[in-house]
């Protein structure tokens, strides 16, 4: 019987761990949960039947899943668990991490007899809640197949290559999100200044070739409503664009749009606030154009 542990009960981790807890309960075991602010782990246990434990106890699980802001926090936690991990176990990191960190983390864990898979997720809080996240995994097939049945938050799980490939695909996916969101914001700002009704413009764009998830969902639901619900931090999206830019540089590629959008999101995170929802980046587009997308 595989015992599981989940580290990091944030906007994504909390619902992901709830799905793992529900699945492991079917075989009569509790999923161990740990969070830096420990009260959140206790609240998770009370609500979802997981078991809140000190960090070092999670090291005894056969499968550890982490979902932290960046690879830096994963490195910190890895350090704290050194000497407490169980040989033969697997660590699945669902953080949107850095491709350069993955081989280092894998090596560090291998020294302790532990396997490592980079397995970031896509779909946001909604898909985390419904257990339909897309998981992109880097690492050996055999290790992936061992853990696949236990990743109860996954709707689709695709192996995208060797260690680090999962983080790489995630960074590029989110760079595309950043580009689409920013470009749609600029387009709508200009249309608004031309006196066009933005809802009507979106109806047309969404039936035309300029559409994307940002025009179909994010902008109508979060920007035009002025709600900007903070489910995915602007600082986290700026981080993801920055990882994509690091990748461009490490392969000596040419991707000026990714470079530009990284600079814009870093500025937006500084000016609008890193904790604001990522869609609030368009408040900077609004400031640049002296208009409001409403």
- Give the residue numbers marked as catalytic: 170
Single out the residue of 92, 192, 199 nearest to residue 138, CA to CA.
92
Comparison of 95 and 215: residue with beta carbon closer to ligand NDP: 95
The stretch among 69-77, 147-155, 251-259, 279-287 that binds ligand NDP (CB under 6 A) is 69-77
Binding to ligand NDP by residue 95, rule CB under 6 A?
yes
Pairing of strands 63-66, 121-122: unpaired
Binding to ligand NDP by residue 274, rule CB under 6 A?
no
Measured from the CB of residue 125, what is the shortest distance to ligand NDP in angstroms?
5
What is the secondary structure of 114-137 as a DSSP string? -EEEE--EESHHHHHHHT-EEEEE
Binding to ligand NDP by residue 10, rule CB under 6 A?
yes
Contact (CB, 8 A) for 50 and 31: yes
Contact map string, positions 14 to 53, toward ligand NDP, x by CB under 6 A: ---------------------xxx--x-------------
Measured from the CB of residue 236, what is the shortest distance to ligand NDP in angstroms?
4
To 5 degrees, how large is the angle CA 108–CA 241–CA 192? 160
Query: How many residues appear in the chain?
Result: 294
C-alpha distances out from residue 136 to 87, 193, 270, Å: 25, 40, 30
Binding to ligand NDP by residue 235, rule CB under 6 A?
no
Local structure of 274: helix, strand or coil: coil
Task: Calculate the CA dihedral of residues 126, 132, 134, 137 and round it to 10 degrees.
Answer: 120
Single out the residue of 137, 182, 210 nearest to residue 289, CA to CA.
182
Comparison of 12 and 205: residue with beta carbon closer to ligand NDP: 12
Measured from the CB of residue 253, what is the shortest distance to ligand NDP in angstroms?
23
Measured from the CB of residue 86, what is the shortest distance to ligand NDP in angstroms?
20
Q: How many CB atoms are closer than 10 A to CB 30?
A: 18
Mark out the alpha helices in the chain (DSSP H runs).
13-26, 38-48, 55-58, 71-81, 101-110, 124-130, 141-147, 165-193, 198-205, 213, 234-250, 256-272, 282-289
Comparison of 62 and 73: residue with beta carbon closer to ligand NDP: 73
Binding to ligand NDP by residue 11, rule CB under 6 A?
yes
Which residues, 123 to 162, sit near ligand NDP by CB under 6 A?
Answer: 124-125
The stretch among 208-216, 226-234, 251-259, 264-272 that binds ligand NDP (CB under 6 A) is 226-234
Binding to ligand NDP by residue 232, rule CB under 6 A?
yes
Measured from the CB of residue 138, what is the shortest distance to ligand NDP in angstroms?
15
Measured from the CB of residue 231, what is the shortest distance to ligand NDP in angstroms?
5
Contacts of 226 (CB under 8 A, 6+ apart): 294
Contact (CB, 8 A) for 3 and 29: yes
Contact footprint for ligand NDP (CB under 6 A): 8-13, 35-37, 40, 67-69, 73, 76-77, 95-96, 121-122, 124-125, 231-233, 236
């Amino acid at each position: 019987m595989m015992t599981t542990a989940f580290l990091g009960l944030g906007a994504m981790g909390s619902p992901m761990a709830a799905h793992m807890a529900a699945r492991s309960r079917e075989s009569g075991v509790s999923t161990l949960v740990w969070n830096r602010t420990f009260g959140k782990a206790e609240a998770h246990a009370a609500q979802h039947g997981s078991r809140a434990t000190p960090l070092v106890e999670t090291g005894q699980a056969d499968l550890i899943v982490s979902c932290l802001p960046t690879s830096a926090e994963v490195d910190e936690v890895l350090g704290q668990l050194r000497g407490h991990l169980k040989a033969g176990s697997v660590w699945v990191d669902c953080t949107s991490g850095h491709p350069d960190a993955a081989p280092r983390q894998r090596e560090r864990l291998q020294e302790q007899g532990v396997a490592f898979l980079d397995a970031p997720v896509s779909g946001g809080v909604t898909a985390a809640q419904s257990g339909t996240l897309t998981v992109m995994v880097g690492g050996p097939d055999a290790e992936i197949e061992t853990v696949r049945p236990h990743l109860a938050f996954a709707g689709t799980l695709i192996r995208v290559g060797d260690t680090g490939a999962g983080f790489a695909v995630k960074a590029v996916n989110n760079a595309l999100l950043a580009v689409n969101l920013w470009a749609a914001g600029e387009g709508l700002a200009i249309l608004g200044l031309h006196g066009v009704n933005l809802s009507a413009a979106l109806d047309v764009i969404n039936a035309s070739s300029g559409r994307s998830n940002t025009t179909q969902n994010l902008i109508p639901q979060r920007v035009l409503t002025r709600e900007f619900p903070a489910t995915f931090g602007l600082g986290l999206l700026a981080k993801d664009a920055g990882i994509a830019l690091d990748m461009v540089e490490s392969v000596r590629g040419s991707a000026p749009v990714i470079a530009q959008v990284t600079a814009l999101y870093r500025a937006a995170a500084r000016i609008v606030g890193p904790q604001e929802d990522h869609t609030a980046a368009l408040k900077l587009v609004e400031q640049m154009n002296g208009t409001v997308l409403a």
